[in-house]
């Protein structure tokens, strides 16, 4: 499914506004007038506007070169990703688009909510070679809400849309030209949002963010809720990206689930025990489901890179083909299993439970959670810090072999938990918490590389056995496994050399509460 990354800036203008010439804009060599287009769009949403509340737009638009169904999803950089499908019938929303908003709908039906007619006049800003960089759309908009109340509105707006990557550099200067002519940034991110805002209160998104500024005097509940809200929003935002197989989407969604689960584990006394246990179990399930395709993807990239670095005369047999066949097959199968899970009632029901849990966390689920953060939260973070020290000490004393590997893996998980806990504490303890979070991340990354080496050795042994059974040479697999073993030893040595410095009691004064 094709995804277009849409970068556009919107401006509110008066009916009498005159577009500037743009001929003095840096990077623009010429301005080309285009045609006038008449666009008729119907926007779909639930009765309680679940899509609009979360800045998603689903429409069917007639007219223009790209007429059809369009779904627009907020992107991490503040822009939006657009997925289009053919026009079809008004009553038949493409199932591919419904799938991408399933985590927001959670079973709620869609209906037409707004009809918008736009008369669009465009210009294109071009470089010296005649390439189109930015489209300037001058829109005269007529909107009508659909449902129990009908509100008719009209306005004029101007959009700057990037047509070429080089156009991003033109946006600031083109925007300045519009400002000088009297344009102002649009109060709404989309035509739909503006039309609805005139008719109804859109309400809050699925996850309400925490306050912009937190201190030690705020309740522990508010501080923890802010972190939970941030990463619950990240989890839901990455859901559509996983479904379209966007780069790093599985990793990002899995990390969001890990952060949430780790927070609940670290600060368990602040939550209702039964509810916390259910949330933790659901997050673990999400992590496990997403972990399988991610692990296969990482291993395939790792082995392909290592194999490419070997001399040709040391690659004996169809090694690359075997690795590709096995790991790509694993990734595809486990991805289908992950998608089946994301489309199931179990997952969507858990999301409802998670949202309720996070919302309730803001008020405090226990008496301790309602106390000041400065007197409550340092103790569990200090406990996480001491756990990491114990596990590292245990790993360094462990006998070489699987016991030592497992111990280092346990230390890595402890470092990850400490890192996330310290991230949560940055609004309360500032730089000291941030420094300890960075130290924990360094431990996590180093021991993560060690664990990757350990897992790689196991997989390579499996490939070697399969090669022998197939009558092929297992030499290259053994060579790669030896490289992984040496890399693991070097990683341990580097970690041991830096651990003493990292484990000194600096940046930790605040852990005493």
pLDDT for residue 199 is more than 70: no
Give the C-alpha separation, 406 to 398, whole Å: 10
Pull the structure tokens for residue 295: 């692990």
Task: Provide the pLDDT confidence category of residue 226 given band limits of 50, 70 and 90.
Answer: very high
Give the C-alpha separation, 273 to 276, whole Å: 5
pLDDT for residue 503 is more than 90: no
pLDDT for residue 201 is more than 80: no
pLDDT at 394: 95
pLDDT at 512: 63
| Cβ atoms within 10 Å, residue 465 | 12
pLDDT at 285: 98
Burial of 397 (0-12, 13-18, 19+ CB in 10 A): exposed
CA 376 vs CA 280, 427, 512: distances in Å: 21, 14, 10
- Tokens 């400490």 belong to 418
Closest by CA to 10, choosing from 197, 209, 193, is 193
Pull the structure tokens for residue 119: 């008369």
| Range in 5-14, 142-151, 189-198 with the lowest mean pLDDT | 189-198
Q: Is 49 left (phi over 0), alpha (psi -120 to 50) or beta?
A: left
Tell me if 322 sits within 8 A of 328, measured CB to CB. Answer: no
pTM: 0.91
Three-state secondary-structure class, residue 153: strand
pLDDT at 262: 98
pLDDT at 200: 67
pLDDT at 365: 92
pLDDT in tens, 9-37: 999 999 999 999 998 899 999 999 878 99
pLDDT for residue 502 is more than 90: no
Q: Which residue has the higher pLDDT, 345 or 65?
A: 345
Please report the DSSP string for 420-476 in residue order: HHHHHHHHHHHHHHHHHHHHHHHHHHHHHHHHHHHHHHHHHHHHHHHHHHTT---HH
- The arithmetic mean of pLDDT across residues 295-322, rounded, is 94
pLDDT at 114: 96
Pull the structure tokens for residue 205: 């998104």
pLDDT at 91: 78
Task: Provide the pLDDT confidence category of residue 210 given band limits of 50, 70 and 90.
Answer: confident
pLDDT for residue 506 is more than 80: no
pLDDT above 90 coverage of the chain, percent: 83
Count of helix runs (H) and strand runs (E) in the chain: 14, 10
pLDDT for residue 198 is more than 80: no
Pull the structure tokens for residue 299: 């291993």
- The arithmetic mean of pLDDT across residues 401-411, rounded, is 96
Give the C-alpha separation, 79 to 6, whole Å: 6
**Overall residue count recorded for the chain in this entry:** 513
pLDDT for residue 510 is more than 70: no
Pull the structure tokens for residue 319: 């090694």
Task: Provide the pLDDT confidence category of residue 490 given band limits of 50, 70 and 90.
Answer: very high
| Range in 48-62, 205-219, 302-316 with the lowest mean pLDDT | 205-219
**DSSP label of 399:** P
pLDDT at 33: 83
Pull the structure tokens for residue 34: 């285009």
Closest by CA to 126, choosing from 34, 18, 5, is 34
pLDDT at 15: 94
Closest by CA to 177, choosing from 8, 6, 18, is 18
- Name residue 125's beta-bridge partners: 31, 134
Closest by CA to 49, choosing from 204, 215, 177, is 204
Would strands 8-13 and 184-185 be described as parallel, antiparallel, or unpaired? Answer: antiparallel
pLDDT at 505: 57
pLDDT above 70 coverage of the chain, percent: 97
pLDDT at 75: 83
Task: Provide the pLDDT confidence category of residue 445 given band limits of 50, 70 and 90.
Answer: very high
Closest by CA to 127, choosing from 187, 168, 82, 72, is 168
- State the chain's mean pLDDT as an integer: 93
Pull the structure tokens for residue 359: 């919302």
Give the C-alpha separation, 33 to 23, whole Å: 13
Tell me if 265 sits within 8 A of 413, measured CB to CB. Answer: no
Task: Provide the pLDDT confidence category of residue 335 given band limits of 50, 70 and 90.
Answer: very high
Q: Which residue has the higher pLDDT, 481 or 74?
A: 481
pLDDT for residue 148 is more than 90: no
Tell me if 397 sits within 8 A of 411, measured CB to CB. Answer: no
- Tokens 């400002």 belong to 179
SS3 letters for 59-110?
Answer: EEEECCCCCEEEEEEECCCCCEEEEEECCCCCCCCCHHHHHHCHHHHCCCCC
Please report the DSSP string for 181-231 in residue order: HT-EE-SSSSHHHHHHHTTS-----SS----S---TTSBHHHHHHHHHHHH
Task: Provide the pLDDT confidence category of residue 504 given band limits of 50, 70 and 90.
Answer: low
| Range in 123-127, 201-205, 492-496, 502-506 with the lowest mean pLDDT | 502-506
Tell me if 257 sits within 8 A of 290, measured CB to CB. Answer: yes
Give the C-alpha separation, 62 to 81, whole Å: 20
pLDDT at 90: 80
Give the C-alpha separation, 38 to 164, whole Å: 24
pLDDT in tens, 38-71: 999 999 999 999 999 999 999 999 998 889 999 9
**Chain centroid to CA 332: how far?**
21
End-to-end CA distance of the chain: 51
Give the C-alpha separation, 366 to 377, whole Å: 14
């Amino acid at each position: 499914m094709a995804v277009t990354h849409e970068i556009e800036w919107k401006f509110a203008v008066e009916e009498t506004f005159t577009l500037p010439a743009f001929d003095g804009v840096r990077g623009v060599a010429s301005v080309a007038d285009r045609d006038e287009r008449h666009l008729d769009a119907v926007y779909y949403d639930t009765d309680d506007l679940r899509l609009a509340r979360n800045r998603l737009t689903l429409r069917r638009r007639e007219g223009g070169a790209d007429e059809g169904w369009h779904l627009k999803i907020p992107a991490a950089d503040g822009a939006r990703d657009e997925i289009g499908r053919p026009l079809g019938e008004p009553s038949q929303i493409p199932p591919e688009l419904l799938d991408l908003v399933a985590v927001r709908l959670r079973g709620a039906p869609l209906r037409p909510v707004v009809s918008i007619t736009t008369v669009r006049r465009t210009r294109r800003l071009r470089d010296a070679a005649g390439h189109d960089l930015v489209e300037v759309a001058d829109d005269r908009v007529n909107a009508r809400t659909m449902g129990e109340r009908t509100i008719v509105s009209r306005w004029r707006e101007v959009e700057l849309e990037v047509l070429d990557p080089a156009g991003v550099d033109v946006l600031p200067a083109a925007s300045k030209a519009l400002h000088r002519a009297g344009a102002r940034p649009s109060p709404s991110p989309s035509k739909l949002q503006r039309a609805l805002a005139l008719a109804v209160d859109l309400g809050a998104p699925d996850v309400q963010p925490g306050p912009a500024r937190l201190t030690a005097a705020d309740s522990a509940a508010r501080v923890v809720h802010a972190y939970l809200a941030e990463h619950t929003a990240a989890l839901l935002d990455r859901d559509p990206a996983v479904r379209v197989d966007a780069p790093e989407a599985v990793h990002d969604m899995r990390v969001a689930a890990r952060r949430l689960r780790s927070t609940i584990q670290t600060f368990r006394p602040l939550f209702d025990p039964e509810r916390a246990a259910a949330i933790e179990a659901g997050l673990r399930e999400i992590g496990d489901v997403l972990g399988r395709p991610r692990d296969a993807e990482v291993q395939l990239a790792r082995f392909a890179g290592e194999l490419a670095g070997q001399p040709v005369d040391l690659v004996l047999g169809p090694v690359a083909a075997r690795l590709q066949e096995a790991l790509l097959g694993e990734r595809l199968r486990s991805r289908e299993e992950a998608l089946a899970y994301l489309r199931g009632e179990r997952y969507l029901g858990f999301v409802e439970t998670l949202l309720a849990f996070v919302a309730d966390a803001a008020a405090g689920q226990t008496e301790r959670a309602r106390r000041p953060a400065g007197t409550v939260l340092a103790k569990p973070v200090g406990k996480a810090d001491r756990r990491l020290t114990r596990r590292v000490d245990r790993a360094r004393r462990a006998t070489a072999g699987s016991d030592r590997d497992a111990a280092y893996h346990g230390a890595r998980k402890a470092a990850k938990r400490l890192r996330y806990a310290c991230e949560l504490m940055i609004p309360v303890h500032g730089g000291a918490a941030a420094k300890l979070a960075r130290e924990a991340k360094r431990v996590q990354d180093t021991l993560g590389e060690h664990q990757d080496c350990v897992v790689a050795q196991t997989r390579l042994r499996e490939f070697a056995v399969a090669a022998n059974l197939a009558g092929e040479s297992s030499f290259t697999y053994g060579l790669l496994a030896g490289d992984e073993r040496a890399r693991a030893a070097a990683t341990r040595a580097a970690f041991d050399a830096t651990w003493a410095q990292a484990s000194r009691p600096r940046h930790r004064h605040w852990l005493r509460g």
